Amino acid sequence: MSDTINPTVLERASVWLEGTFDDDTKVRVKELMETDPVALTDAFYRDLEFGTGGLRGIMDVGTNRMNKYTVGMATQGLANYLKMMFPEVDPISLVLSYDSRNNSRYFATVTAEVLAANGFVVYLFDSLRPTPELSFAIRYLGCQSGVMLTASHNPKEYNGYKAYWDDGAQMIAPHDVNVINEVKKIISIDQVKWQGNRHKIQIIGNEIDEAYLDEILQLRLSPEAIDRQKKLKIVFTPLHGTGQTMIPEILKRFGFENVSIVTEQATADGNFPTVHSPNPEEQDALNMALQLAKKIDAELVMATDPDADRVGIAVKDPAGKFILLNGNQTAALLFYYILNRWKELGKFTGNEYIVKTIVTTELLRDIAQSFDLEYFDVLTGFKFIADIIRKHEGEKKFIVGGEESYGYLIGDFVRDKDAVSACALIAEIAAWVADQGKTMFDLLLEIYTSFSFYKERLLSVTKKGKTGAEEIQQMMVTFREIPMESINGINVVEIKDYLKQEAKNLVTGKMTKTDLPASNVLQFILEDGSIISVRPSGTEPKIKFYFSVREAMNEQSDYDRINLQLEEKINGIISSLELT
């Protein structure tokens, strides 16, 4: 069998049959060598990349897999960088948490032991906790870094490793690139300090939980409405993840007494046995919750991903049928409700702001401007929202931030998207509108009539292999070098090129700076206000197209007609770009 395997792959794999690798690992490598050359090649043809968000990959033996050795080598690289950046801190400290995925606890233990062996104090949660609580704990404990073991909503075969900085946010430049460089310097497992100083690992739990929940409780804006609507029927599912640890408890503390949990999905299970994918963006993941909601005639359905940083919701339409809201619609409800209540409660001082990403609905900008509130646009990724908070800390007050991919943050005591606080505030919105004899869908229609009906859609185009990656690269080159003057018969009035960090007004010819870090993203703004954003993936042969269209909606009864009209407009744009 070995004669059918690429010699370089065979050489890399053979290293794992020698030295200090454990016996189980050696047996598994030998098994792949003898029975599965394709799997062996994929496991060893390259090193698992430590990207700007950390590690993410399939779990198995190999240099291109998540396992004890790739996790340990990444941790040693991180430790080396922290020693360089915090020479005056002794000891350096980190927080570790993990989700319900298979091997998450094991990888967290490996990480803790390597860090302790490097002389660091390690705060390790006693059991699984959500990503946002890890972010909170870094700040609460005054640590220099943190690591979350999770692969978010990826399939069960995956796990991952997200690295955080001392502000509780995922790393951005220059730290992200610098850590990557340090990790690349670890070329052998013998460079890793695997054992020693275990006494430096401190187990944490309830104290952090209480402090975190207390902070979320301070976000309440309508406790009286909740008290009157405390029997409101809510269905929640953690999709076998960490949401079960905090979300039922925070809903109880907010005052909700009628929360039904999807029992079959309440147990932490890295095999995610009841769903194809534990992704709250997908309707299939919410099917069991929707069935329960129909059975008990609930008003709201909420589902969180395995590490509880994102939430998807379903609400009733005027016919009483549950519909799933997309990330932009949920963000609009959160932003409008929070800002409206801040105004009613007299909380504004004139120094507040909100943040969104450049591919998130412009409806959030309109809502912010209606309250004379400053807003910031940032690149895709919640770490950039956290960066704005850090830059303005002590000078301006962050209220709320969000992105179209179902991530939201209320308040600044966490520096990553937080489905725990988001679920609490979403439930509060449901109580607030119910107290007025309305539904969340009614509120969404009110927002559309007050501003405009914004409709968004995401289209991901995947190309296979090396040729696919080259094809995507050429697509971006073509979009840049031969820019379209019209799309779907509508004139393009502005092109923003975030890689070149410039925007060109096609009507006046004026060039301006985008004032954001360089990123391979293009945006085409059309005469009617439509926006098409194009962004290739940095890690796989995939290119994403974000479409945003809008139309004035004077009457709520116009919803169905305008919804169909905007749907057809997006279809027309996609057709004109020849993406179908």
> Can you give the pLDDT at residue 49?
87
Identify which of 480, 537, 477, 489 has the alpha carbon closest to the alpha carbon of residue 56. Answer: 537
Per the domain annotation, does 9 fall within a domain?
A: no
407, 382 Cβ separation under 8 angstroms:
yes
Tell whether 179 and 55 lie within a shared domain: yes
Listed range (332-346, 412-426, 534-548) with the worst mean pLDDT: 534-548
Per the domain annotation, does 13 fall within a domain?
A: no
Per the domain annotation, does 563 fall within a domain?
A: yes
Which pair of structure tokens corresponds to residue 307? 């590490």
Tell whether the model's pLDDT for residue 535 goes beyond 90.
Answer: yes
Which pair of structure tokens corresponds to residue 562? 């305008």
Tell whether 318 and 420 lie within a shared domain: yes
Which pair of structure tokens corresponds to residue 7? 């010699």
What single letter denotes the amino acid at residue 19?
Answer: G
Per the domain annotation, does 68 fall within a domain?
A: yes
Of residues 97, 104, 145, 152, which has the active-site annotation? 152
| Mean pLDDT (whole number) for 365-391 | 97
Tell whether 375 and 422 lie within a shared domain: yes
Per the domain annotation, does 241 fall within a domain?
A: yes
The CATH number that applies at residue 515 is: 3.30.310
Mean pLDDT taken over the chain: 95
Tell whether the model's pLDDT for residue 178 goes beyond 90.
Answer: yes
145, 94 Cβ separation under 8 angstroms:
yes
User: How does residue 563 score in pLDDT terms, banded at 50, 70 and 90?
Assistant: very high
Residue span of the structural domain in which 369 resides: 212-450
Count of the separate structural domains present in the chain:
3
The torsion angles phi and psi of 4, rounded to 5 degrees, stand at -95, 0
Last residue of a domain, one of 450, 484, 503: 450
Per the domain annotation, does 189 fall within a domain?
A: yes
Per the domain annotation, does 22 fall within a domain?
A: no
Instruction: Write down the pTM of the prediction.
Output: 0.96
Give the whole-angstrom CA distance, residue 300 versus residue 578.
38
Tell whether 536 and 561 lie within a shared domain: yes
Tell whether 410 and 459 lie within a shared domain: no
Give the whole-angstrom CA distance, residue 102 versus residue 383.
26
Percent of residues, the chain, with pLDDT higher than 90: 93
Give the whole-angstrom CA distance, residue 281 versus residue 546.
15
The string of DSSP codes covering 396-453 is SEEEEEEETTTEEEESSSS-S--HHHHHHHHHHHHHHHHTTT--HHHHHHHHHHHS-E
Tell whether 443 and 568 lie within a shared domain: no
What single letter denotes the amino acid at residue 414?
Answer: V
Tell whether 550 and 476 lie within a shared domain: yes
| Mean pLDDT (whole number) for 410-415 | 98
Q: What is the pLDDT of residues 291-330, one digit of tens each?
A: 999 999 999 999 999 999 999 999 999 999 999 999 999 9
Tell whether 247 and 354 lie within a shared domain: yes
> Can you give the pLDDT at residue 2?
55
Tell whether 387 and 529 lie within a shared domain: no
> Can you give the pLDDT at residue 432?
98
234, 256 Cβ separation under 8 angstroms:
yes
Give the whole-angstrom CA distance, residue 442 versus residue 433.
8
Last residue of a domain, one of 396, 417, 450: 450
Last residue of a domain, one of 404, 434, 450: 450
Q: Rounded to an integer, what is the distance from CA 114 to the centroid of its chain?
A: 27
> Can you give the pLDDT at residue 537?
80
Tell whether 420 and 545 lie within a shared domain: no
> Can you give the pLDDT at residue 468?
79
User: How does residue 422 score in pLDDT terms, banded at 50, 70 and 90?
Assistant: very high
Tell whether 170 and 287 lie within a shared domain: no
Tell whether 395 and 249 lie within a shared domain: yes
Cβ partners under 8 Å of residue 146, min gap 6: 94, 95, 96, 97, 134, 135, 137, 138, 163, 164, 168
Which pair of structure tokens corresponds to residue 570? 């997006």
The CATH number that applies at residue 166 is: 3.40.120.10
Known catalytic residue at 100: no
Per the domain annotation, does 19 fall within a domain?
A: no
Name the 3-class secondary structure at 22: coil
